[in-house]
Copies of this chain bind each other. A is one copy, B any other.
Amino acid sequence: MGRKKNVTFNDIAKYTHFSKTTISRYFNNPDSLTLENQEIIAKALVDLDYKENKVARILANGKTEFIGIIIPNLSLHYYSEMLDKILSTYEQFGYKFLVFIGNENEETERRYIEELLAYKIEGLIILSHTIPSKELSGLQLPIVTIEREDKYVCSVNTDNYMGGYQATNLLARLGCDILIHINSPSNEAIPAYGRVKGFSDLCNERQIPHEIILKEIGITYESMQGHLKIILNDLEHKYTKKKKGVFLSNDSQANIFLNLLIRKYGSLPDDYLIIGFDDSPVSREAIIPISTIGQQIDKIAYEAVSLLVEQMDERKKRRPVPLKEPIHKVVTPILIRRETTEKM
């Protein structure tokens, strides 16, 4: 902890002729000292150039004020933006964050959790998808997951169903003849599945012709481009002359789809309406700004941390009452209309 001996409460105590206890109180309950004595100690701190040591405090009172985070990566804008907002809650809650990049590797993530536990984190935020919530719940630690399978733990998710419904509703209102939703095949337990359900429910309610294309189209740009090219060709043949409303599962894909069309036709053809999901930067920076469903990332982050803080606070009571059922919070997404859905 540094070569040269640190100045400790002991040194301050000697210097001021108080006891360690009083010095401690100066920090944790200053009002219990006379103003006079407070000033004496304050001066001593400066004279001796005291630096506080929170590690020692942790050992003594058990409160690390650490929250662990396991996040798959920071390359995807969604994750990095979420981490940004989570870390920014330090200003409100004071918790410090130990962050690990999981890369969706289950064994690695288990190791990271072990390490976090060794540092006595008070709570854990999980954004990766690998470890089942059942296992997480066995950790005996306040946990909140974000946008992943969450049956046995607390979570905060976007209302994906609502998002899918809104996107589809917009396309429907604009008079499309056929609605198309492109997504990866995914489990019903994953929140994002709601987008598919929202799409199909609205189509069925309104009796609108529709097609759901569930296909693993990869995560690299080249892979997505290749698959979407094929899908586009199919659609062109299948629905010639029909007004097509295409709802893609994220903005990257929507952008690729849009670019394919523009490179083919020089502009976005009148018989195509496009909407994406996430409100990531590319949706705004695209050649034609793309309509999308924006997740309220700042709100999700805040709710996640605050839900975690509640659990951590509860745990510090002398008679903690653990949650009987995990709490699942839901944040409404926001429809963002841009130019890819502005034609009639």
Contact = CB atoms under 8 A, between A and B. Distances in A.
Contacts of A263: 287
A185 B3 CA distance: 43
A239 interface: no
Interface in A117-145: 117-120
A59 B75 CA distance: 36
Contact of A96 (B58, B115, B255): B115
Given A55-B119, A99-B97, A287-B262, A74 B64 contact: no
Contacts of A3: 315, 320
Contact of A54 (B74, B90, B119, B267): B119
A287 B287 contact: yes
Interface in A275-303: 281-282, 284-287
Interface residues of A, number: 54
Interface string A78-97: 00110110011010000011
Contact of A266 (B53, B63, B73, B267): B267
A56 interface: yes
Interface string A34-74: 00000000000000000111111011001110000000011
15 contacts: A1-B63, A51-B117, A52-B118, A53-B118, A53-B120, A54-B119, A56-B59, A75-B84, A80-B84, A90-B100, A96-B98, A97-B98, A221-B284, A255-B285, A281-B282
Given A54-B118, A255-B285, 17 more contacts: A53-B118, A54-B119, A55-B55, A55-B58, A55-B119, A56-B59, A74-B80, A75-B81, A75-B84, A84-B101, A87-B100, A96-B98, A221-B281, A221-B285, A256-B285, A259-B286, A263-B287
Interface of A: 1-3, 51-56, 58-59, 62-64, 73-75, 77, 80-81, 83-84, 87-88, 90, 96-101, 103, 115, 117-120, 221, 252, 255-256, 259, 262-263, 266-267, 281-282, 284-287, 315, 320
